[in-house]
Structure 1
């Protein structure tokens, strides 16, 4: 399915889902001062890429085709979209590799190490933090792993499967469906991201509680490094020293290339129910969500939308906060559990709309808007609007302060950068017994030609306020290159020393994704 749909080379997702010009104009009406017409999308044949600086052996699956290089130049952050729209492909990879086997990966790394060519692993290319874009001066190779896309083995007794790292979300789920099983990991980028990418970035899925992070679903990993292949044992748990899998989970392509993983699966759900709850203010809504997170009821969906986010998604137009709740099970009906959850919400002042009186409609409206939002972001970018999203996590005792401080300080920063007020909305994407994961959306009018610099200023302000409040620089978007300053503050220095040592041992030539997580350390080939 996904492999045959035409992917956008410049923006999010599929070409046929991009917003038409008139819808871009309509969206921009909420921000005065934007252009009358959207910026046109460049045609690839009209763009000039720098000449390739590499001459790979013909025995390797490598191309220097301009279309492939252009499509692998950037990820899908706002600044990536704006640069692509302006035709700026100066940072294009010198070549793109498309391995079909693990042996291809080994041979590609051997060649790159000997030739002094940087290698940046590339899954679906959905990074929004500069994770797949090399910013150094060396020749570089984009290693597209989507040819490694098979479910190789299913263990129905243990309920697990061995899956290649390049499998896109729909591709792996299609292969699991005949077995009645699912990985149950559905990030917003599900259609356009890979298992290996989820593992390398410690991705968070759509589900708001319990097993939402990909970390929790890993049984074992197989990773190709320049120093050799690492494969951990399949075990349900182990106390044998530091976990070898944890070394590579979240390593973002700096230590090795994840080629296979045994993943824990679940039976496909048969029973589902949902409801929405309206609250007059965020204080009451946060108290309700905390009670739900600490109840042990583990809703599949527990999304709290503040008034701005609820209005933007169409879930409410009455200035209320909206909590979207959902439950599911493969084994038994879930209506009773949904009733317990809504009772908790009512106890904190919530007004419940269940299925049949608007509850399902609100949940469906939010979900449609959630999946559509990246395309909306691209449409606004064509109109020179500034669009930024950033997510974090903090403990419950600091949640109200963080919400209020971020909205106030980022709102002030947006006005200083753009000269006019913007929108600063928030939703809680995931909740835990000890804290939430707030996700902020910023939309403001930009100046044509200055969008990237303005976005960078807003991003810097967001990083600084999160660091000062002791909140994580990222809950599930990864570090990449864009979050390095915040990650450097968050990471303990002894751990940084250990990470540099691991990098030197596993990648002695320093060719794997330099600049991500730690500073590049290159040696002569």
Structure 2
């Protein structure tokens, strides 16, 4: 029997915190000024929620691809954001799809889209379902909704070891992708927090960002060619290392979030698995010094694999730091050469800004049987959403948002966001919300700050509270020169600010493209364009 995923929350069903673990978590969080009543919300059974009857019946030729059982429909209703988890716990599945289809080939997908266009059925492409911005939730109920789960289109099809590229189907989950590249000694090296449960197609459709802090961090940096099915036909781009032949056809699909077409496979650039690694944590008493040191490192050209800055509160809550300092986590890796010298130079730059390094992890050549450092990090990092889910069941408001800005504009943006969220908390609950900040990615021209909010909730009002905080934070971000999202995508939740961020001529071109490729408007309505 396959390991079941949680239909209502993050990840594996058996990793959700039980009542005793949740009680201990509540006590720990209360020590930081976030009181909880200790009552754990019950997880409902989808079979007892009375989902409405499906409003459409597939043709006989496609019936075996479709499912209508309550659990499948419930699991494909929302993504995995805080507001999704809370609504699932309440049994609020008003936007459940009428059918869920599992195509096994590109021909199946073409047939499903042809049927949807002919019968005016809204189509939501669904990869791993880890969207945190409403990207897989069809809120337009004016017509039946078909969720197309692409995980049946999976696997590494072909590896070009000479050119360092691999052709991979869009429904391939992260662990499966890496497992199938491993015998060739290759890796994609793209590890978003959702790695275990998200797909290559989802990464491409949302322009996902991986764990590594510099260099090729966005999936678009790793794409060589893309194949897409649209209502207007199938598009496949040429695989070459570079081209000046007009605007890039690949870029049309990257970030399109299933509203222009459905990605079925891609050629991606892979690399040799790393053998050499070195890492260190650097302590800073002053946050401004830590920010300046991070900027120095990323502008030095050293390109660390990890350059993650944690502010005081993030260091305390996320890394167990008890001395009130900030932490800059540095890491270097290479498949070809030792990296101690790069780490040493980065540490020197930090010392010049008042940093105090912990003892570095000594460089070593990674043996085939040695523990994978990325896997060890992933095991720790991916546990955070399970804690978020437990806090949601306990009635707390805990969620994240992220952006990117210039180094010159960071101080003002950071101060504005912290102030806006704190005041939103006071207006809602009479006490400021706790806000932590870390840099997930850094570039020579600016950082990507990632904020986490902890606020008291009220039973039944959690979603409304979060929505107010989210609006306050988003307004502060765009007012201070930040993007509404660095790697979480637009979905439906970011539409108001995305519409303000994009230039008007580009909006005209995007709408025209939508009309040309999807004249019936069936693909993921409400995402990116109306």
Q: Note the residue ranges of structure 2 that are not aligned, 5 or more in a row.
A: 363-372
The answer to whether structure 1 residue 11 and structure 2 residue 9 are counterparts is yes
Instruction: Identify the residue that residue 365 of structure 2 maps to in structure 1.
Output: none
Structure 1, unmatched stretches of 5+, are 520-525
Q: Does 1:438 align with 2:449?
A: yes
Do the aligned residues in 2 keep the contact of 1:126 with 1:192 (CA within 8 Å)? yes
Contact 1:276-1:363 within 8 A present in 2 as well: no
Instruction: Give, in angstroms, the shift of residue 33 of structure 1.
Output: 4.1
**Counterpart mapping for 1:32-71 below 5 A:** 32-60=34-62, 61-71=65-75
Q: Which residue among 516, 522, 530 is the counterpart of 1:505? A: 516
| CA distance in 1: counterparts of 2:3 and 2:131, whole angstroms | 19
Among 93, 102, 107, the residue aligned to 2:106 = 102
Q: Report the equivalent of 1:481.
A: 492
CA contact (8 A) 1:165 1:197 kept: yes
Query: Could you say what the CA RMSD is over the residues aligned between the two structures, in angstroms?
Result: 1.6
User: What is the aligned partner in structure 1 of residue 369 from structure 2?
Assistant: none
- After TM superposition, give the deviation of residue 514 of structure 1 in Å: 0.5
| Offset of residue 356 of structure 1 | 6.1
Runs of 4 or more above 4 Å deviation = 362-369
CA apart distance, 1:34? 2.3
Q: CA deviation at 1:399?
A: 1.0
Q: 1:173 aligns with which of 169, 178, 191?
A: 178
Corresponding residue for residue 121 of structure 1: 125
- Measured against aligned partners, the alpha-carbon deviations of 1:294-323 in whole angstroms (never above 9, x if no partner) come to 011100000000000001113411111100
Which range moved further: 59-68 or 262-271? 59-68
Partner of 1:522: none
Query: CA separation in 2, counterparts of 1:5 and 1:270?
Result: 32
Distance 1:32 1:172 in 2: 40
Give the corresponding residue for 1:185.
Answer: 190
Distance 1:396 1:153 in 2: 41
Contact 2:425 2:432 in 1 (8 A): yes
Q: Per the alignment, in what secondary structure is the counterpart of residue 19 of structure 1?
A: coil
Report the Cα distance in structure 1 between the residues aligned to 2:66 and 2:375, rounded to whole angstroms: 43
> 2:89 matched to 1:80?
no
Please give the secondary structure, in 1, of the residue aligned with 2:289.
helix
Moved more, 189-198 or 54-63: 54-63
Please state whether the residue corresponding to 1:91 is helix, strand or coil: coil
Distance 1:407 1:366, change over 3 A: farther
Q: Secondary structure at the match of 1:190?
A: coil
Within 2, Cα distance between the matches of 1:407 and 1:172?
38
Q: In 2, Cα distance between the equivalents of 1:363 and 1:90?
A: 39
CA distance in 2, matches of 1:298, 1:390: 25
- 1:59-110 CA distance string (max 9 Å, x none): 2111112211111011000000000001111211000010010001100000
Selected match of 2:397 from 380, 386, 406: 386
Q: 1:513 to 1:163 in 2, by over 3 A?
A: same
Separation in 1, partners of 2:359, 2:248:
44
Offset of 1:46 from its aligned partner? 2.3
Q: TM-score, normalised by structure 2?
A: 0.94
Instruction: Within 5 Å, give how 1:364-513 maps onto structure 2.
Output: 369-513=380-524
SS in 2 for 1:255: coil
| Structure 1 residue 316 corresponds to structure 2 residue 321 | yes
Show the counterpart of 2:368.
none
1:366 to partner: Cα distance: 7.6
Supply the distance in 1 between the matched residues of 2:378 and 2:309 (Cα, whole angstroms).
Answer: 13
Question: Is the Cα contact below 8 Å between 2:155 and 2:177 reproduced in 1?
Answer: yes
Contact 1:315–1:365 (CA<8 Å) still a contact in 2?
no
Equivalent position SS for 2:438: strand
Which 10-residue stretch deviates more, 42-51 or 446-455? 42-51
Report the alpha carbon displacement of residue 367 of structure 1 after superposing the two structures with TM. Answer: 6.0
The residue that corresponds to 1:130 in the other structure is 134
Inter-partner Cα distance in structure 2 for 1:513 and 1:234: 28
Encode CA deviations 1:276-295: one digit per residue, 9 max, x unaligned.
00001110001000001101
> Quick check: 2:409–2:481 contact (8 Å CA) kept in 1?
no
Q: For 2:236 and 2:386, how far apart are their aligned partners in 1?
A: 38
Matched length? 513
Indicate whether 1:247 and 2:252 are aligned. yes
TM-score (ref. length: structure 1)? 0.95
Change (3 A) 1:272 1:251: same
**Counterpart Cα distance in 2 of 1:208 and 1:126:** 21
Q: 1:316 to 1:32 in 2, by over 3 A?
A: closer
